[in-house]
Amino acid sequence: MTHQTTCCYCGVGCGIVVNQEPNGRLTVEGDKQHPSNRGMLCSKGMNLHYTVMDQSDRLLYPQMRFNRSMPLQRVSWDAALERTAAVFKTFIQKYGPDSVAFYVSGQCLTEEYYLVNKLIKGFIGSNNIDTNSRLCMSSAVVGYKLSLGEDSVPVCYDDIEEADVFLVQGANPAWCHPILWRRIEAHKTANPHVKIICVDPRRTDTARSSDLHLPIRPGTDIVLNHAIGRLLIENGHIDHSFIVDHTDGFLAYRELVMQRSIDEAAELCGIDSEAIQTAANWIGRSKGFLSLWTMGLNQSVIGVNKNLSLINLHLITGRIGTPGNGPFSLTGQPNAMGGRETGGLANILPAHRDVMNAAHRAEVEAFWNSPVKIAAKPGLTATEMFEALADDRSGDASLKAIWIINTNPLVSMPDVNTAEKALKNARFVVVQDISNRADTVAFADVVLPAAAWLEKEGTMTNAERRIAYLPKVIDGPGETLPDSEILWRFAQKMGFGDAFKYTNCSEVYQEYAQLTAGTNVDVTGVTYELLRKNRTIQWPFQQHDKPITNNEYRIANSENRIPKTENRIPETGTKRLFTDHRFYTANQRAQIHAVPDGNTSEPTDEDFPLVLTTGRIRDQWHTMTKTGRVAKLGQHIPQPFLQIHPDDANVRGIEEGQLVVVQSRRGEVRVKAQLTDDVRPGLCFLPMHWGKILTNNQVRANNLTNSLVDPRSKEPDFKFSAVEVLPYQKP
């Protein structure tokens, strides 16, 4: 028997065919019909079935304890949920609704995101729900909103084959989005004139296969983008009529970028000015200019400004809304986008509504028939939640209880010792997860065993707004339940039963879809039935009496017979946004922002003279709670390591393979040194995957990172921490 589903690792959203043999054995292969991956899978996707078949570390039944010094004890679902509801009600009554919080994950399905938002925002009356996606893409959300009017990715993967210049900035898709990278490489092989520019302080595999690598100093992306902007203006490579007809802010931008010479910019970035000239020439002369970025821009104390400086290059050249052109923020997690759609951040409501907008709150309250007012202020963001718990003072209304769903903050949070203190301090911790590998279980008062990939149904949205249906293929082990069912059962224990009387996830999705009606993320035409038939649909996709078929659309489109005002799109949804160059801002014009180019990261000094950047390796995923179970994936890079430039190593007496201590103002890490000029002098790199249970806290990268965040996106500065590296001396 075969089942079509979607990979649950990264935001590429590859289609997978699961083969289920009569003896229950599972194998996976790439889905040749899927528009995103066309049959290809990367090493992680190819080995997904092992994560399902190895049940050795699964949480199998609910557990709880009344005192953290006691062991967790097996209890019934009713007992676990009734106790959790009783504790939540007590705190809410005594300290107010903001005394509880949910911390969720970009791996949650759309229905799960929707339910948890409805529960806390519409029924408990707090906006204290945030997601680990805050740690990876919230700067892109704000960047899109400020420039295009809404958090709306304008492009699609098919733009890859239409582009002739790629600007990959602060991303390593060769390792982190491998299937997209294969599409880019195949396109370049077939079209040798295609150019790839990679901007990264590290010489990654992406940089190695690019035509031009700009190894800028960490934190100087805006300086570089402004310099490219200046050259585009000076070389006459901007689109005057697009700027005049469809944007605001160009004059201030032009004045700003003209203030810094190209030589000065090159000096600040630590690269040759000729390289900047080359990049600007390629972009200026291109027919299709696609920029791709992830954490190098987003995970920064100036992440929003970095995003805006890159999007500006598309706005001044008019390279947006046409095939092969546009700014493309890739998502790191499989359903980061679905979380954004359903309001899974502390400052937003479903369908890109805003908690600060009274009309938006009223719409959602009325739709949900909420018994409480939706709070008129943003809730606590990811880092704020853990800081509030770490700083708990009895008697006030600060945070008391946290419910963590499918994420492992004791490895992934910046300045992770604060997160550890937070969970120690928390009066009540609920952990909902699939595996006892999650480091949070050690701090849990209640543990709720969740169904894993293939064990539950629902939907996810990938980086190109493509919604996919994931069927339930097998039963979960033990007493595991789908996350959606856990949430609606809990809501009933809280006394919100009438509004949470669901019998399946399709009902949840249909309710969410109705709440999107008339918005820019309208998915009223999407149903499970249609998703099963079409495989995927890109939003927006409104309800039609008779959706136009793909074939009809192709013929009509080629004959230019589809009026732009008529909402007739193919039955697989909307490929590109802003094709009419009308943006989602109030005046329908895109906004060019003249942003300052300075970096406000933690300063280096004599004690901590090096910059540490953290990131992923090819075959591991997040905190290794899934990939760590697949022996094959450990063969690529079995141990954590610190990349350091030979010049920096030599002056410290560090040799290849030697054990070193990396110290920051917050903690230390002990790993083996890898001497390489793949990193710039003054820069070190440490992978972020290894954590406490899998190894020990001595290799946990976030012992070192700092808690600085971008002031608007609240995304942490993972890519810039001041450190020192010393040879390890036995005590």
Contacts with ligand SF4, residue ranges (CB under 6 A): 7, 9-10, 12-14, 37, 41-42, 44-45, 177-179
Residue 458, Ramachandran bin (φ over 0: left; ψ between -120 and 50: alpha; else beta) = left
Cα distance between residue 647 and residue 13, in whole Å: 41
Q: Which is nearer to ligand SF4, 14 or 198 (CB)?
A: 14
Q: Which is nearer to ligand SF4, 337 or 374 (CB)?
A: 337
Q: Which is nearer to ligand SF4, 12 or 531 (CB)?
A: 12
Instruction: Work out how close the CB of 13 gets to ligand SF4 at its nearest, in angstroms, rounded to a whole number.
Output: 6
Q: Which is nearer to ligand SF4, 183 or 493 (CB)?
A: 183
Instruction: Work out how close the CB of 630 gets to ligand SF4 at its nearest, in angstroms, rounded to a whole number.
Output: 12
Instruction: Work out how close the CB of 715 gets to ligand SF4 at its nearest, in angstroms, rounded to a whole number.
Output: 21
Inter-residue long-range contacts of 576-581, CB under 8 Å, 24+ positions, other chains counted: 576/154, 576/155, 576/156, 576/159, 576/321, 576/322, 576/323, 576/326, 577/152, 577/153, 577/154, 577/321, 578/148, 578/154, 578/320, 578/321, 579/321, 579/322, 580/321, 581/242, 581/245, 581/246, 581/320, 581/321
Cα distance between residue 459 and residue 550, in whole Å: 22
Residue 255, Ramachandran bin (φ over 0: left; ψ between -120 and 50: alpha; else beta) = alpha
Cα distance between residue 445 and residue 87, in whole Å: 11
Instruction: Work out how close the CB of 333 gets to ligand SF4 at its nearest, in angstroms, rounded to a whole number.
Output: 10
Instruction: Work out how close the CB of 338 gets to ligand SF4 at its nearest, in angstroms, rounded to a whole number.
Output: 14
Cα distance between residue 283 and residue 291, in whole Å: 10
Instruction: Work out how close the CB of 35 gets to ligand SF4 at its nearest, in angstroms, rounded to a whole number.
Output: 13
Instruction: Work out how close the CB of 326 gets to ligand SF4 at its nearest, in angstroms, rounded to a whole number.
Output: 20
Instruction: Work out how close the CB of 179 gets to ligand SF4 at its nearest, in angstroms, rounded to a whole number.
Output: 4
Comparing CA positions, the residue from 336, 116, 309, 343 lying closest to residue 229 is 309
Cα distance between residue 364 and residue 70, in whole Å: 42
Q: Nearest 5°: CA angle at 24, between 20 and 26?
A: 45
Instruction: Work out how close the CB of 33 gets to ligand SF4 at its nearest, in angstroms, rounded to a whole number.
Output: 15
Instruction: Work out how close the CB of 534 gets to ligand SF4 at its nearest, in angstroms, rounded to a whole number.
Output: 19
Q: Which is nearer to ligand SF4, 176 or 569 (CB)?
A: 176
Instruction: Work out how close the CB of 177 gets to ligand SF4 at its nearest, in angstroms, rounded to a whole number.
Output: 6
Q: Which is nearer to ligand SF4, 37 or 440 (CB)?
A: 37
Instruction: Work out how close the CB of 461 gets to ligand SF4 at its nearest, in angstroms, rounded to a whole number.
Output: 13
Q: Which is nearer to ligand SF4, 471 or 727 (CB)?
A: 471
Instruction: Work out how close the CB of 105 gets to ligand SF4 at its nearest, in angstroms, rounded to a whole number.
Output: 16
Q: Pairing mode, if any, of strands 63-64 and 73-74?
A: antiparallel
Q: Which is nearer to ligand SF4, 84 or 406 (CB)?
A: 406
Structure tokens given for 730 = 């036995």
Q: Which is nearer to ligand SF4, 157 or 641 (CB)?
A: 157
Q: Which is nearer to ligand SF4, 13 or 378 (CB)?
A: 13
Q: Which is nearer to ligand SF4, 627 or 643 (CB)?
A: 627
Structure tokens given for 603 = 């300063």
Inter-residue long-range contacts of 395-400, CB under 8 Å, 24+ positions, other chains counted: 396/95, 397/95, 397/96, 397/98, 397/99, 398/95, 398/99, 399/98, 399/99, 399/100, 399/101, 399/128, 399/426, 400/91, 400/95, 400/99, 400/100, 400/426, 400/427, 400/428
Q: Which is nearer to ligand SF4, 44 or 319 (CB)?
A: 44
Structure tokens given for 22 = 């009569």
Instruction: Work out how close the CB of 15 gets to ligand SF4 at its nearest, in angstroms, rounded to a whole number.
Output: 9
Q: Nearest 5°: CA angle at 151, between 385 and 242?
A: 145
- Residue 81 near residue 489 (C-beta atoms within 8 A): yes
Tokens 């009325």 belong to which residue? 366
Comparing CA positions, the residue from 554, 439, 467, 458 lying closest to residue 505 is 458
Cα distance between residue 722 and residue 708, in whole Å: 12
Instruction: Work out how close the CB of 150 gets to ligand SF4 at its nearest, in angstroms, rounded to a whole number.
Output: 25
Strands (E), 70-150: 73-74, 100-104, 129-131
Q: Which is nearer to ligand SF4, 50 or 61 (CB)?
A: 50
List, in order, residues 6 or more apart from 404 with CB less than 8 Å away.
102, 103, 104, 429, 430, 431, 432, 433, 440
Return the exposure string of 639-676: e unless at least 16 CB atoms fall within 10 Å of the residue's CB, then b: ebbbbbbeebbeebebeeeeebbbbbebbebebebbbb
Q: Which is nearer to ligand SF4, 51 or 542 (CB)?
A: 51
Cα distance between residue 607 and residue 466, in whole Å: 48
Q: Which is nearer to ligand SF4, 439 or 619 (CB)?
A: 619
Instruction: Work out how close the CB of 571 gets to ligand SF4 at its nearest, in angstroms, rounded to a whole number.
Output: 23
Cα distance between residue 185 and residue 166, in whole Å: 11
Strands (E), 395-535: 401-405, 428-433, 446-449, 458-461, 466-470
Which residue is nearest to ligand SF4, using beta carbons?
Answer: 45
Instruction: Work out how close the CB of 8 gets to ligand SF4 at its nearest, in angstroms, rounded to a whole number.
Output: 8
Q: Which is nearer to ligand SF4, 47 or 663 (CB)?
A: 47
- Residue 76 near residue 377 (C-beta atoms within 8 A): no
- Residue 525 near residue 544 (C-beta atoms within 8 A): yes
Q: Which is nearer to ligand SF4, 302 or 633 (CB)?
A: 633
Cα distance between residue 394 and residue 377, in whole Å: 23
Comparing CA positions, the residue from 211, 220, 217, 181 lying closest to residue 283 is 211
Q: Which DSSP category does 284 fall into?
A: H
